[in-house]
Amino acid sequence: MGSRLSSRRSVKRVAMRRPLLLCVSCVVLALALLAATPVCAQVSTRDGGWVWQNPLPEANGLNAVACPDATHAWAVGRLGTILATTDGGAHWSVQDSGTSDSLWCVSFPDAAHGWASGMDVKTDKGVVLTTSDGGAHWQVQKSGADWTFHSLAFTDATHGWAVGAHGDIWATSDGGADWHDQTQGAFGGLTAVVFPDASHGWAVGGAWPGGKETILATSDGGVHWQVQTSVTNADLTAVAFPDAAHGWAVGDAFKGRTQKAVILTTTDGGAHWQRQTVGTDMMLYAVAFPDATHGWAVGSNYRTGKSVILTTTDGGAHWQARTAGKYAELRGVAFSGASHGWTVGDWGALFGTTDGGAHWQRQTLGSSMDLHSVAFPDTTHGWAVGRRGTILATTDGGAHWQAQSAATRVRLWAVAFPSTTHGWAVGNHGTILATTDGGTHWQMQKSGTTCGLFGVAFLNVTRGWAVGRRGTILVTSDAGAHWRVQKSGTDKWLRAVAFPDATHGWAVGGQVSVGTDWFHWTRVILATTDGGAHWKLQKVPIRCNLSAVAFTDATHGWAVGCGWKMMNGVILATSDGGAHWKLQKSTSLNWQLHGVAFADTRHGWAVGGGVATPGTVLATSDGGIHWQAQTSRTDELLLGVAFPDATHGWAVGWGGTILATGSGGN
Q: Which CATH architecture has domain 7-32+60-362?
A: 7 Propeller (2.130)
Residue 178: CB atoms within 10 A of its CB come to 13
Whether residue 129 contacts residue 137, with contact meaning beta carbons closer than 8 Å, is answered with no
Buried b (16+ CB within 10 A) or exposed e, 435-467: beebbeebeebebebebbbbbbbbbebebbbbb
Distances (CA, A) of 237 to 62, 64, 289, 357, 507: 16, 12, 15, 22, 49
Residue with more model confidence, 149 or 221: 221
- 329 pLDDT higher than 70: yes
Phi, psi of 31 (to 5 degrees): -80, 145
Alpha-carbon dihedral of residues 468, 474, 477, 482, nearest 10 degrees?
A: -110
Which pLDDT belongs to residue 465?
98
Which pLDDT belongs to residue 562?
84
- 324 pLDDT higher than 90: no
32/23 Cα distance (integer angstroms): 21
Quickly list DSSP for 31-97.
P-PPP-----B----TTSSSEEEESBS--S-EEEEE-SSSS-EEEEEGGG-EEEESSTTSSBEEE--
Which pLDDT belongs to residue 569?
86
Secondary structure of 177-235 in HEC code, one letter for each residue: CCCEECCCCCCCCEEEEECCCCCCEEEEEEECCCCCEEEEEECCCCCCCEECCCCCCCE
Q: Are strands 592-598 and 582-584 parallel, antiparallel or unpaired?
A: unpaired
Which pLDDT belongs to residue 21?
34
Cβ neighbors of 135 (< 8 A, separation 6 or more) are 74, 82, 84, 95, 114
Among the ranges given (134-148, 386-400, 443-457), the one the predictor scored with the smallest mean pLDDT: 134-148
Among the ranges given (17-26, 112-121, 379-388), the one the predictor scored with the smallest mean pLDDT: 17-26
Nearest to residue 525, comparing CAs of 505, 555, 503? 505
Which pLDDT belongs to residue 25?
35
**Integer distance in angstroms from the first to the last C-alpha of the chain?**
39
Residue with more model confidence, 294 or 612: 294
> Which pLDDT tens digit goes with each residue over 405-415?
988 999 999 99
Which pLDDT belongs to residue 259?
72
Whether residue 559 contacts residue 525, with contact meaning beta carbons closer than 8 Å, is answered with yes
- The SS3 call for residue 416 is strand
Which pLDDT belongs to residue 27?
34
Beta-bridge partner residues of 524: 509
> Which pLDDT tens digit goes with each residue over 207-240?
654 456 689 999 999 999 999 987 777 889 999 9
- The SS3 call for residue 391 is strand
- 518 pLDDT higher than 70: no
Cβ neighbors of 106 (< 8 A, separation 6 or more) are 2, 64, 65, 66, 74, 75, 76, 82, 114, 115, 116, 117, 152
Cα 509 to its chain centre, rounded Å, is: 26
117/631 Cα distance (integer angstroms): 21
Instruction: Please give the mean pLDDT across all residues of the chain.
Output: 87
359/403 Cα distance (integer angstroms): 25
Whether residue 553 contacts residue 585, with contact meaning beta carbons closer than 8 Å, is answered with no
422/241 Cα distance (integer angstroms): 60
Helices H / strands E in the chain, number of each: 1, 56
- 505-521+534-666 CATH: 2.120.10.80
Which pLDDT belongs to residue 416?
98
532/156 Cα distance (integer angstroms): 71
Which pLDDT belongs to residue 455?
98
608/615 Cα distance (integer angstroms): 6
Which pLDDT belongs to residue 244?
98
> Which pLDDT tens digit goes with each residue over 437-449?
999 999 999 999 9
Per-residue pLDDT band for 15 (boundaries 50, 70, 90) equals very low
Which pLDDT belongs to residue 567?
57
Percent over 90 (pLDDT), the chain: 70
Q: Rounded mean pLDDT of 153-160?
A: 97
- 588 pLDDT higher than 60: no
Which pLDDT belongs to residue 33?
30
406/177 Cα distance (integer angstroms): 56
Cβ neighbors of 13 (< 8 A, separation 6 or more) are 5, 329
212 residue type, one letter = K
Backbone φ/ψ region at 349: left (φ over 0), alpha (ψ -120 to 50), beta = beta
Cβ neighbors of 515 (< 8 A, separation 6 or more) are none
DSSP at 29? P
Residue with more model confidence, 7 or 297: 297
Among the ranges given (117-121, 201-205, 393-397), the one the predictor scored with the smallest mean pLDDT: 117-121
- 548 pLDDT higher than 80: yes
Which pLDDT belongs to residue 612?
65
Which pLDDT belongs to residue 463?
98
Phi, psi of 470 (to 5 degrees): 55, 35
Whether residue 658 contacts residue 607, with contact meaning beta carbons closer than 8 Å, is answered with no
- 50 pLDDT higher than 90: yes
Which pLDDT belongs to residue 568?
77
Cα 516 to its chain centre, rounded Å, is: 32
Per-residue pLDDT band for 64 (boundaries 50, 70, 90) equals very high
Which pLDDT belongs to residue 253?
80
Q: Rounded mean pLDDT of 71-90?
A: 96
Among the ranges given (22-26, 155-159, 423-427, 540-544), the one the predictor scored with the smallest mean pLDDT: 22-26
Which pLDDT belongs to residue 589?
53
Count CA within 13 A, CB hemisphere, residue 225.
Answer: 25
82/78 Cα distance (integer angstroms): 9
- 520 pLDDT higher than 80: no
Distances (CA, A) of 639 to 16, 104, 414, 615, 655: 20, 27, 10, 9, 11
Helix (H) or strand (E) holding 15: helix 7-17
Whether residue 292 contacts residue 305, with contact meaning beta carbons closer than 8 Å, is answered with no
> Which pLDDT tens digit goes with each residue over 437-488?
999 999 999 999 999 999 999 999 999 999 999 999 999 999 999 999 999 9
> Which pLDDT tens digit goes with each residue over 398-407?
999 999 998 8
Whether residue 116 contacts residue 153, with contact meaning beta carbons closer than 8 Å, is answered with no
Phi, psi of 332 (to 5 degrees): -145, 150
Q: Rounded mean pLDDT of 527-552?
A: 95
- The SS3 call for residue 20 is coil
Residue with more model confidence, 510 or 600: 600
Q: Are strands 484-485 and 473-476 parallel, antiparallel or unpaired?
A: antiparallel
Percent over 70 (pLDDT), the chain: 85
Alpha helices in 533-613 (DSSP H): none
Backbone φ/ψ region at 153: left (φ over 0), alpha (ψ -120 to 50), beta = beta
Q: Rounded mean pLDDT of 536-560?
A: 95
- 39 pLDDT higher than 60: no
31/346 Cα distance (integer angstroms): 11
